[in-house]
Amino acid sequence: MASPPSLLSMSGITKSFPGVRALDGVDLDVQAGEVHCLLGQNGAGKSTLIKVLAGAHQPDTGTIRWRGEEVVLRSPIAAMRLGIATIYQELDLVEHLSVAENVHLGHEPTAAGFVVRRRTAKASTAALLKRLGHPEIDPGRLVGDLSAAQQQIVSMARALSHDVRLIVMDEPSAALDPDEVDNLFRIVGDLTADGVAVVYISHRLEEIRRIGDRVTVLKDGRAVAGGLPAKTTPTREVVSLMTGRTMEYVFPERPAAPPTGTPVLQVRGLARDGEFAPLDLEVHAGEIVGLAGLVGSGRSEILETVYGARKPTAGQVLVEGRPLRPGSVRAAVRAGVGLAPEERKAQALLMLESVTRNVSVSSLSRFSRAGWIDRGAERAAARAATRELSLRPDNPSVPVRTLSGGNQQKAVLARWLLRGCRVLLLDEPTRGVDVGARAELYAVVRRLADEGLAVLLVSSEVPEVLGLADRVLVLREGSVVHTAPAGELDEHRVLDLVMEGSPAS
Amino acid sequence: MTQHVSPPRDGTGKTAPAGELPAWRGLMGRTDVRTLSLLGVLAALVVIGGVTKPDEFLDTRNLQLVLTQASVIGVVTVGMTFVITSGGIDLSVGAIVALASVWATTVATQEYGFAGILFTAVIVGVGCGLVNGLLIAYGGMVPFIATLAMLASARGLALQITDGRTQIVTVDGILDLGERDSYVLGVPPLVLVFAAVTIAGWLVLNRTTFGRRTVAVGGNAEAARLAGIDVRRQRLYLYLLSGLCCGIAAFLLIVLSGSGQNTNGNLYELDAIAAAIIGGTLLSGGRGTITGSVLGVLIFTTITNIFALNNLQSDVQQIAKGAIIVAAVLVQRRTASTT
């Protein structure tokens, strides 16, 4: 290794979670005073890598060198003591505490060891905020009263309140207006001029070009390119590094002719202020329509609004020509709409219950008379539905939590199959599902469509949308920027659209 | 109930990892282990009672007394079990019992006789439950706060009605129910009511859509909502149910004591919560057991009885109760964390 040693050098980092190898021998080299960008699609391993760097995850194997010395980051505190600070996408501030209290949380300036010197804390916080170009933020205000951009500044002030040598920023610009982004870049410039290194994660190539020095590209848990020059590497090369897959997905065949007739699901001018712009779409029986876009593009919000879990600010949803009462899940379910939500465990499954009870929960009235459940009929119906989806193990009385991710997803699908729904909304259907089990899930979805369901699919994994859907709507920041049959799009083009916003070269 | 587990058929290679199978067996086994251990504790208490006071404890009259005392708090606990299973809490049960018992024993109510007293007790209980339910389900109030407010108000109203005086019941039909002549095959009628409420509660929780929805709301309210369950209406019904149980309990208390007092039902909320928790109902919701709750009530009542027979004061009883709650929850945490 050349001297002087790098500020940070991670090599051969691996990290596995049950069923998923999130990091598979990643190397990352960061010099003092540089902006090092991390690029990669969702699920490429970026979050896991920065959590390892922050001491929040322990790597299974691999070494981390800090200024040439091997270190073990046992905890977030250990990382912080070395001078590594992380600003997460979901800000980890305490809303009910003041700005100054948040900045000094865990290392309050004290007198006699325990009396917080509030005036000192406020003064040093004010100095930090001034340095960050936001002297207007009052250190005494509650964090909960601040805007998202201001909260991010507070988060950054907290990082700087330590003697920090390296700051990790996870998509810091996602919640910011353009002029706030300019301020962010100025701060990043000041920091690096002081010799602080910044690890910068963003989906926006133009930002990386503006402030980045070097780029490391992650894909499927591997660093496929390390230390590329950020300003001169062609977009084409970066995109192909991000997409060039080693893993081939197997997608079921599409029907020969596109379905026609009256659409089962019609969305007309549906909008939610601040989340997504008025949207029109139609899904026919037997058709799978995909929404492609990055995190924050409004994908999940759209699905949840169609489903009635969020109340739209404008527009309406029609199922088989009949408008649904807006903002009512029960109306949607009664009309034959089913949702397989993104957060399966938090939003769909009753983790303490058996597969049978998870499957039957939306159709209880079918197995009951005057509220009395016919458990034999319930079991038989649940078994039939799970068998049709080849859910394993073939025993619906096991607790749902013992199933693998793919089979848990099948349990959710079986719920709607049993209910006899006409419209299926799929939000990230293969999140947390083993790569090997995905093909089977794709086949299941296609079969359900072939049997006459209208499917609306949302996924951050572009190949999944392109491979599974018949028609694709590309979203960028809450607006549809492109619509086309899936066969006419490829991954490069979709990524160009979601990152650059216009149909690029 | 026996469970037969067929080995996972490995058709796709995507079955649950083999190592997880014992975990689920443990889960199903644990339900039975918990019930058995509660029965074991109860049996041990009976032995202790029989050894320390062989003549008095095992006397039929004493056993009848224990069961009668368990009936009032037991009926309240059945309702509480539903509320806790749904992820809620009802702190107002004791106060509702007090209010229902005094409202049903005013001079004016007693003019309507047996039916008037029964009807009033039940209606007052249901009415209080309705207010709780509306505040929580549709007013968006936290159950702890809403029922705490009901606790304060109902006790205050009970005091206002009685002016602190004990209201003696003069209706013969009520008083007769407490007499030995009305025992059925040696079982006091109050105990029969308790048994009926227990069986009904068990059936509703385990065999009806209402019970299923209760468990679903408690296990994961967001998932229940997205599955199409009317979570708010379910919550309203649950507090109504708890209020109904309080009304029935108030009636039993009137029969038992032949009077209505504003101090009735003191700290019932804590006894009912404690009994449900040691019985195995999760305070966080999503799992509830009527059998466990009833065993919890019987354990507490038996302890009280044994201590009283041995002339140990109520301070010692309280300490013992506290220790049992801690021990039961620690055991549950241990069994939960090993899976």
Task: Summarize pLDDT for A139-148 with one digit per residue, the tens.
Answer: 999 998 888 7
Spatial distance between the Cα atoms of A455 and A469, rounded to a whole number of angstroms: 9
Question: Would you place residue B20 in the very low, low, confident or very high pLDDT band (cuts 50, 70, 90)?
Answer: very low
Q: What is the mean pLDDT of residues A184-196?
A: 90
Of A1-5, A449-453, B193-197, the range with the lowest mean pLDDT is A1-5
Joined together, the tokens standing for residue A137 give 């933020």
Contacts of A438 in chain B (CB under 8 A): none
Interface of A with B (CB under 8 A): 18, 307, 309, 329-330, 333-334, 339, 341, 346-353, 357, 361-362, 364-365, 368, 371-373, 375, 390, 392-395, 397-399, 402-404, 406-407, 415, 434, 436-437, 440
Residue A386, pLDDT > 90, answer: yes
Provide the pLDDT for residue A3: 57
Residue A17, pLDDT > 80, answer: no
CB contact B200 to A (< 8 Å): no
Contacts of A334 in chain B (CB under 8 A): 228
> Would the CB atoms of A346 and B223 count as touching at under 8 Å?
yes
CB contact B241 to A (< 8 Å): no
Tell which wins on pLDDT, B74 or A153: B74
Joined together, the tokens standing for residue B67 give 């069961």
SS3 B133: helix
Contacts of B10 in chain A (CB under 8 A): 392
SS3 A482: strand
> Would the CB atoms of B6 and A395 count as touching at under 8 Å?
yes
Half-sphere exposure at residue A209, Cβ-oriented, CA atoms within 13 angstroms: 10
Task: Name the percent of chain A in helix, strand, coil, to the closest 5.
Answer: 35, 25, 40
Q: Which of B8, B207, B212 sits opposite A357 (nearest CB)?
A: B212
Residue A505, pLDDT > 50, answer: no
Tell which wins on pLDDT, A141 or A20: A141
> Would the CB atoms of A333 and B228 count as touching at under 8 Å?
yes
Alpha-carbon gap: B280 to the closest alpha carbon of chain A (Å): 14
Residue B283, pLDDT > 70, answer: yes
A432: left (phi over 0), alpha (psi -120 to 50) or beta: left
CB contact B140 to A (< 8 Å): no
Whether pTM > 0.90 for this model: the answer is no
A366 Cβ neighbours under 8 A, 6+ residues apart:
A381
Provide the pLDDT for residue A248: 53
Q: What is the mean pLDDT of residues B259-279?
A: 94
Nearest Cα neighbor of A158 from A192, A183, A121, A119 is A121
Q: What is the mean pLDDT of residues B184-206?
A: 95
Spatial distance between the Cα atoms of B89 and A505, rounded to a whole number of angstroms: 61
CB contact B3 to A (< 8 Å): yes
Which of A305, A328, A329, A412 has the most B C-beta neighbours within 10 Å, making it the best mutation to test the interface with B?
Answer: A329
Nearest Cα neighbor of A137 from A160, A155, A119 is A155
> Would the CB atoms of A395 and B224 count as touching at under 8 Å?
no
Q: What is the mean pLDDT of residues B132-141?
A: 97
CB contact B14 to A (< 8 Å): yes
Which of A373, A383, A387, A412 has the most B C-beta neighbours within 10 Å, making it the best mutation to test the interface with B?
Answer: A373
Amino acid of residue A176: L
Q: Which of B15, B212, B226 sits opposite A309 (nearest CB)?
A: B226
Q: What is the mean pLDDT of residues B138-158?
A: 97
Contacts of B15 in chain A (CB under 8 A): 392-393, 404, 407
Tell which wins on pLDDT, B86 or A102: B86
Q: How far is CA A279 from CA A11, A294, A323, A482, in A?
A: 46, 17, 16, 12
CB contact B58 to A (< 8 Å): no
Contacts of A330 in chain B (CB under 8 A): 228, 230
- Average pLDDT along chain A: 87
Question: Would you place residue B3 in the very low, low, confident or very high pLDDT band (cuts 50, 70, 90)?
Answer: very low
Alpha-carbon gap: A354 to the closest alpha carbon of chain B (Å): 10
Alpha-carbon gap: A296 to the closest alpha carbon of chain B (Å): 21
Question: Would you place residue B30 in the very low, low, confident or very high pLDDT band (cuts 50, 70, 90)?
Answer: low
| pLDDT single digits (tens) A391-437 | 988 999 999 988 888 899 999 999 999 999 999 999 989 887 766 67
Provide the pLDDT for residue B153: 97
Spatial distance between the Cα atoms of A298 and A306, rounded to a whole number of angstroms: 12
Q: Which of A341, A390, A398 sits opposite B12 (nearest CB)?
A: A390
Q: Which of A330, A390, A403 sits opposite B228 (nearest CB)?
A: A330
> Would the CB atoms of A437 and B212 count as touching at under 8 Å?
no
Measured in degrees and rounded to the nearest 5, phi and psi for residue A329 equal -60, -40
Of A447-456, A494-503, B9-18, B112-121, the range with the lowest mean pLDDT is B9-18
Provide the pLDDT for residue B83: 98
Question: Would you place residue B19 in the very low, low, confident or very high pLDDT band (cuts 50, 70, 90)?
Answer: very low
Residue B23, pLDDT > 70, answer: no
Of A35-44, A276-285, B179-188, the range with the lowest mean pLDDT is A35-44
Alpha-carbon gap: B152 to the closest alpha carbon of chain A (Å): 29
Spatial distance between the Cα atoms of B72 and B197, rounded to a whole number of angstroms: 11
Measured in degrees and rounded to the nearest 5, phi and psi for residue A145 equal -85, -5
Q: What is the mean pLDDT of residues A50-71?
A: 92
Amino acid of residue A415: R
Strands (E) located in B199-302: 259-260
Question: Would you place residue B15 in the very low, low, confident or very high pLDDT band (cuts 50, 70, 90)?
Answer: very low
Query: To the nearest whole percent, how much of chain B has pLDDT over 70?
Result: 89
Of A7-11, A378-382, A419-423, A437-441, the range with the lowest mean pLDDT is A437-441
Of A128-132, A292-296, A303-307, B192-196, the range with the lowest mean pLDDT is A292-296
Provide the pLDDT for residue A61: 92
Instruction: Provide the pairing of β-strand A115-116 with A8-17.
Output: unpaired
CB contact B225 to A (< 8 Å): yes
Residue A93, pLDDT > 60, answer: yes
Contacts of A333 in chain B (CB under 8 A): 227-228
Chain A and chain B share a number of CB contacts under 8 A equal to 118
> Would the CB atoms of B226 and A415 count as touching at under 8 Å?
no
> Would the CB atoms of A404 and B16 count as touching at under 8 Å?
yes
Spatial distance between the Cα atoms of A171 and A87, rounded to a whole number of angstroms: 9
Provide the pLDDT for residue B315: 85
Q: Which of A351, A365, A392 sits opposite B15 (nearest CB)?
A: A392
Joined together, the tokens standing for residue A266 give 């019609």
Joined together, the tokens standing for residue A308 give 């009635």
Query: To the nearest whole percent, how much of chain A has pLDDT over 90?
Result: 46
Spatial distance between the Cα atoms of A472 and A342, rounded to a whole number of angstroms: 19
Contacts of A378 in chain B (CB under 8 A): none
Question: Would you place residue B91 in the very low, low, confident or very high pLDDT band (cuts 50, 70, 90)?
Answer: very high
Long-range contacts: A277-285, Cβ < 8 Å, 24+? A277/A478, A277/A479, A277/A480, A278/A314, A278/A315, A279/A315, A279/A480, A281/A456, A281/A473, A283/A423, A283/A454, A283/A455, A283/A456, A284/A258, A284/A259, A284/A260, A284/A454, A285/A259, A285/A261, A285/A422, A285/A452, A285/A453, A285/A454
Amino acid of residue B11: G
Nearest Cα neighbor of B296 from B35, B27, B33 is B35
Residue B24, pLDDT > 90, answer: no
| pLDDT single digits (tens) A191-240 | 999 899 999 988 777 788 889 999 998 888 888 888 888 888 877 777 77
How many CB atoms neighbour CB B46 within 10 A? 17
B145 Cβ neighbours under 8 A, 6+ residues apart:
none
Measured in degrees and rounded to the nearest 5, phi and psi for residue A21 equal -100, 100
